[in-house]
Amino acid sequence: PNHFVVGTDAGLVSHGTRHELKVPPKWFKPQQGGPRATQVNAIDFSPFGKPIFLVGCSDGSIRLHQMASELPLMQWNNSTAGQAVIALQWALTRPAVFFVLDATSVIYIWDLLENDLSPVAKQPIWSDKIITMAVLGEPEKPSGVLGIALAKESGI
pLDDT score of 34: 60
Q: Which domain holds residue 23?
A: 3-152
Pair 97, 91: CB distance under 8 Å = yes
In the sheet that holds 3-7, the strands lie side by side as 3-7, 13-17, 27-28
CATH code: domain of residue 101: 2.130.10.10
User: What's the pLDDT band for 33 if we cut at 50, 70, 90?
Assistant: low
Pair 7, 40: CB distance under 8 Å = yes
pLDDT per residue as tens digits for the range 92-151 = 988 999 999 999 999 999 999 999 999 999 999 998 999 999 999 887 776 777 889 999
Distance CA 56, CA 63 (A): 7
Global confidence as pTM: 0.90
| Number of domain units in the chain | 1
Q: What is the mean pLDDT of the chain?
A: 90
